[in-house]
Amino acid sequence: MTIGNPVGAFPATRMRRNRRDAWTRRLNAETMLSVDDLIWPIFIREGAGQTTEVASMPGVVRVTLDRLAGHVEQAAALGIPAIALFPMTPPELKNAEGTEALNPENLICRAARLLKREFPEIGLVGDVALDPYTDHGHDGLIRETRTGDYVHNDDSVAVLVTQAVNQAEAGIDVIAPSDMMDGRIGAIRGALDEAGLIDTRIMSYAAKYASAFYGPFRDAVGSGKALRGDKKTYQMDPANSDEALREVALDLAEGADMVMVKPGMPYLDIVRRVKDRFGVPTFAYQVSGEYAMIMAAVRNGWLEHERAMMESLLGFKRAGANGVLTYFAVEAARLLKGR
């Protein structure tokens, strides 16, 4: 129930009064951003002694396992609660069936074991999808049909289930299926529980759109040039909003503990609708294209780096996100900690 009328009239009411001083603005701030809201995506690669920059993502690097602990140490020191791992699989290990995803000694599993030894306090989020492992760049397995090649839902889910269990057994705390296959959350939850991994959480990419903003990420993991066609038969149509709510509802019913909207900034309306409808832990991914746009403008002198970065992250919180996967995580944490 609303009591009274909160809206006055000028000049008795002057909205600028509460903006007059920094301390007033702090007292009246409706949304807060903290280090606890950040998840840092990290790209890992095979080899040793190498840290290579992703050309389309200024400041973002791929690191080999021997340098991974040193790379993650800055996140640990800043109190960033979780990191998300994304592997760059060598071409010789890729094939049409993505079999390297099933290898319990693959890059992401070795990285998880290393990081759990070095930083047991940091949560590990593991990407579950086949695009880093397939030579065609799709998130699932391609099967021939009467109307042409098609990403087969149920065959793909069977592989994703084994991939998820392998990651969880290696130390991944949060399984994050990003494939958008129907029914995969229920299948993964059932397999995790059967394996005794009942505390492994699932953060579902529940509303992942077939977006133009993923290009730099595909460069980073080496799947962009390999991709045949597009992903519109399984990722969502950017025109749709109600459909996102159905996707989220299904994933929650199947056992998702958290849900994610991806991309982020162009889809803040989806974040708000999901949070308002379901009231569950809701995350957003500030994807590679969003990061690249901001950094390109910064490098051209068109945007002020720190202000643009922090304003973009605050927007996710204002929309209702519990947290954000962002390549700005370390920079933002330093600012928030005053370092």
What are the chain's domains?
33-338 (3.20.20.70)
**E-assigned strand segments in 221-281:** 258-262
The answer to whether 202 and 258 have CB atoms below 8 angstroms apart is: yes
Tokens representing residue 102 in the block: 């099933």
226: pLDDT confidence band, cut at 50, 70 and 90? Answer: confident
In this predicted structure, which of 18-32, 66-80, 209-223 has the lowest mean pLDDT? 209-223
For the stretch 287-300, pLDDT in tens is 999 999 999 999 99
Known catalytic residue at 337: no
Helix (H, G, I), strand (E, B) or coil at 277: helix
| Mean pLDDT for the stretch of residues 308-315 | 98
**Cα–Cα distance, 317 to 33 (Å, whole number):** 7
Q: Which residues are annotated as a binding site for Mg(2+)?
A: 247
**How far, in Å, CA of 311 to CA of 297, rounded?**
15
Mean pLDDT of 213-238: 88
Q: Is the peptide bond preceding residue 263 cis, with omega within 30 degrees of 0?
A: yes
- Among the listed residues 251, 237, 234, 147, the one whose alpha carbon sits nearest the alpha carbon of residue 189: 251
DSSP 36-75: GGEEEEEEEESSSS-EEE-TTSTT-EEEEHHHHHHHHHHH
What is residue 229's predicted lDDT score, i.e. its pLDDT?
Answer: 83
Q: Which tens digit of pLDDT belongs to each residue from 70-94?
A: 999 999 999 999 999 999 999 999 9
> Of 94, 208, 231, 275, which is the active-site residue?
208
**H or E element: which one contains 202?**
strand 201-208
pTM: 0.94
Average pLDDT over residues 186-209: 98
Catalytic residue among 94, 262, 275, 317: 262
The question of whether 232 is a catalytic residue gets the answer no
pLDDT digits (tens, 9 = 90+) for 91-147: 999 999 999 999 999 999 999 999 999 999 999 999 999 999 999 999 999 999 888
Mean residue pLDDT of the chain comes to 95
Site of tokens 């996102």? 244
pLDDT exceeds 70 at position 5: no
Letter string b/e over residues 83-122, b meaning 16 or more CB atoms within 10 A of that residue's CB: bbbbbbbeeebbeebbebbbeeebbbbbbbebbeeebeeb
Question: Which residues fall in the annotated binding site?
Answer: 247
% the chain with pLDDT above 70? 98
303: left (phi over 0), alpha (psi -120 to 50) or beta: beta
Query: 272 and 320 in contact (C-beta within 8 Å)?
Result: yes
Q: How far apart are CA 139 and CA 247, in angstroms?
A: 17
Tell me if 68 sits within 8 A of 112, measured CB to CB.
no
